[in-house]
Each structure stands twice: as structure tokens, then as C-alpha cells.
Amino acid sequence: MEYEEFLEIVSRQTGLDAEGAQRAIRATLETLARRLSKGERRDLLRQLPAELKPWIYTEAGSEAFDVDEFLRRVAEREQVEDIEEAERHARAVFWALGAALDAKEVADLAADLPEDFDPLVAEAQRRQVRVMPASEFLTRVARRTGLDAGGAARATEAVLETLAERIAAGEVRDLIRELPVRLHPPLRRGAADRTGTAKRMPLEEFLRRVAEREGVPVDQAREHAAAVFATLREAVTTKEFFDVTVQLPDEYWTLIPGP
């Protein structure tokens, strides 16, 4: 693939002009280079256009960071303030990588990255993985609860953090892969220092923690939790929602919407 074709793909996917698309490509590839192993960087250099190689080549060793940090660095390099915008641009670059690399190299790239990079890797693999934007998620919570934007964000974060304390750590990781980056921090906080199976937590205790985190009475916390669960059902795949809710005891089903 020629550089101009790679640039055109990113420009078309993002709506950026040539200069903006180049910034997005450079920011994404330079950050990706710091995450990949030296061997994988070397393999990419063999297949990418010459104009892209300086952004992949580095003598530095590989760094271990998650997709949230990856996108934070992309945003910083690209000089955009919105992480969701950086994510949209990075997705376009991964899509272009899928066009530039052969199937084996795309598979090797995927294998070199941790599981939470899956929404980006899916672009290169031409898999359809739609992640609901955080703004849309919060708007739906606000509409269901009557809260303003700030209140919807607080309610969502309180419920997700408490949910992450309740379900198995591995399920939290799966949930993170299907939700927007802005909603990852409360899930990571809830799962911090935890491994293994789900934690016992009666519904009463779940709602008490949500209320305390959100700073509202328990009856309001119940309403807000139901709204977040309803939105979560719309945001993730049917399988993932089942995998989350099957870990909850029957008393939680008063919060969970039917099919």
C-alpha cells in the first residue's frame, strides 16, 4: 500500500483533512510502537509504507500499558482533549493497518496486544464491534432518571464501580472491552486488588454503596441503578449482559430490565 492510500483511508474514516489525518496516524503509530514487542515492530516495518516507518521505529523497549493509557497518550500526542475523539481516530488508523498488512501480520499484531485492545484490533480484522459512545450512554441514563449530565455521570460511575466490586474480576475485564473508555475508570476501581470469583454482596449492601458513592438516598440509588442496568443492556452484547447478570442473585433482578 502507498502512503497516500493509507492517508486517504484515515481521512475518509475520520473526516479529517490530510494534515489532521497525518497527525492522527503519527500519534497512533508512535504510541503503538511503544506497546509492541521489538519483533512485532520489526515485522510491521517490513509491510508499511516508507513514510510511516519513522513512527514505528524505536530502539526503546516495549512498555506494558492498557488501552486507556494508550488512548490517553494518543490524545496527548495528537493534541486533542477528548479521549473519545482520540479513540475514533485510532480506530481509523487500525482500520487502515488492516488494509496495509497481510492477514498473518494482522493476526500477529492482535496476539501482541492485550485483550482490552480488542475494539481497536477488531477494526484491523474487519470485525464489527460497535462501542456505544460515553455521551450516548450518559444521555440515556439522564433521560431515564431525569438527572442532568453531571448527575447521570455520577450515578453511572457509582453503579459501575459497585458492580465491579460484585462480579468476578475476569467479567469486569470482559465488560471493559465493550464499554467506552470514559466508563473504564469506575470499573477498574471496583476491580482493583481483586482476583477470582464474584464477591458476595446482598442487594441492600449494593444499593447502600451506590448511594454513598453518589451522595443520594438509597431509594434514589435504586432508581438510578435500574436506569444504568437498562442502559448497560443496550450498550453491550446480549452474551456479555447475560454473563454479567447471571453472576447476580435473584434479588438483583428487581433492577434488571426484561428482554
Give the model confidence (pLDDT) of 137-146 as tens digits.
999 999 999 9
Number of Cβ within a 10 Å radius of residue 145: 19
pTM, two decimals, is 0.65
- Give the phi and the psi of residue 223 in degrees, each rounded to 5: -60, -45
What is the grid cell recorded at 102?
497481510
C-alpha of 65 from chain center:
14
Q: Give the tens place of pLDDT for each residue, 168-184.
A: 888 888 888 888 888 98
- Give the phi and the psi of residue 143 in degrees, each rounded to 5: -65, -40
- Euclidean distance between the first and final Cα of the chain, in Å? 46
Most confidently modeled range among 92-101, 147-156, 189-198: 147-156
- Among the listed ranges 115-119, 196-200, 225-229, which one has the minimum average pLDDT value? 196-200
Dist. CA 111–CA 120, nearest whole Å: 13
pLDDT in the model for residue 1: 81
Residue 58 has pLDDT above 90, yes or no: no
pLDDT in the model for residue 195: 60
Q: By the 8 A CB rule, do 199 and 171 touch?
A: no
Task: Compute the C-alpha angle 169/178/115, nearest 5°.
Answer: 60
Dist. CA 239–CA 187, nearest whole Å: 19
- Among the listed ranges 33-42, 93-102, 174-183, which one has the minimum average pLDDT value? 174-183
Q: By the 8 A CB rule, do 236 and 168 touch?
A: no
Instruction: Please name which of 34, 32, 16 lies closest in space to residue 24, comparing C-alpha atoms.
Output: 16
Dist. CA 229–CA 141, nearest whole Å: 9
Listed in sequence order, the residues at least 6 apart from 143 whose beta carbon sits closer than 8 Å to its beta carbon are none
Burial of 128 (0-12, 13-18, 19+ CB in 10 A): exposed
Q: What is the mean pLDDT of residues 244-255?
A: 91
What is the grid cell recorded at 252?
438483583
Dist. CA 9–CA 200, nearest whole Å: 49
Dist. CA 8–CA 96, nearest whole Å: 9
Instruction: Please name which of 69, 91, 90 lies closest in space to residue 23, comparing C-alpha atoms.
Output: 90
Q: How confident is the model at residue 119 (pLDDT cuts 50, 70, 90)?
A: confident
C-alpha of 170 from chain center:
15
pLDDT in the model for residue 193: 62
- Same fold across 3-124 and 134-254: yes
pLDDT in the model for residue 145: 96
Amino acid letter, 15: G
Instruction: Please name which of 36, 91, 26 lies closest in space to residue 64, comparing C-alpha atoms.
Output: 36
Four-way CATH pick for 134-254: 3.40.50.450, 4.10.220.20, 3.10.20.30, 1.10.490.110: 1.10.490.110
Q: How confident is the model at residue 160 (pLDDT cuts 50, 70, 90)?
A: very high
Ranges of each domain in the chain = 3-124, 134-254
CATH topology of domain 3-124: Globin-like (1.10.490)
Q: Give the tens place of pLDDT for each residue, 182-222.
A: 898 999 899 886 665 667 899 999 999 999 999 999 999 99
Dist. CA 213–CA 147, nearest whole Å: 16
Dist. CA 60–CA 46, nearest whole Å: 18
